[in-house]
Amino acid sequence: MKPLLLAGALMLAIPGAAVADPPWKPGHHGPGKHHNARHYEKDRRKAEREYWKDRQKAERQYQRDLARAERRWARGQYLPRSYLADTYYVRDYRAYGLAAPPAGYTWVRPDPRDDSYYMVQLATGLIEQIFGP
């Protein structure tokens, strides 16, 4: 009977050892955790600002790359219909050293940052001639 009581007492003592104090200091939530909510929130906001800053930078670069890719057309290709609007037409073509376009054609400058001018057919957008770099 004594060995049974001794075994029972040992069984009750063993789980008590597993509930020991954590190895970190009291007041901390564990290794790698912030010790107070203010510091956690400050770091979270900083990380979020950096994320959005990087995302905006990537978006600007993407738009620049996209604009560069859209601006390059060759003779015989079709200019997108969005550029066949009055705002892109070159009315004072002689000031740019361009010849007068034939009937049914007009000079178009799709990007004001680029000095490329396209003579396009108004009905289809077919590029007949390119002037510029």
Select from 79, 85, 86, 81 the least CA-distant residue to 119: 79
Do residue 66 and residue 78 come from a single domain?
Answer: no
In terms of residue numbers, what domain contains 33?
29-70
Q: Locate 43 and state its tokens.
A: 């770091």
Do residue 59 and residue 100 come from a single domain?
Answer: no
Question: Is the residue at 15 inside a domain?
Answer: no
Do residue 90 and residue 62 come from a single domain?
Answer: no
pLDDT in tens, 74-121: 889 998 888 888 888 988 888 888 889 999 999 998 887 778 899 999
Question: Is the residue at 124 inside a domain?
Answer: yes
pLDDT in tens, 14-31: 655 555 555 555 555 555
User: What is the domain count for the chain?
Assistant: 2
Do residue 89 and residue 125 come from a single domain?
Answer: yes
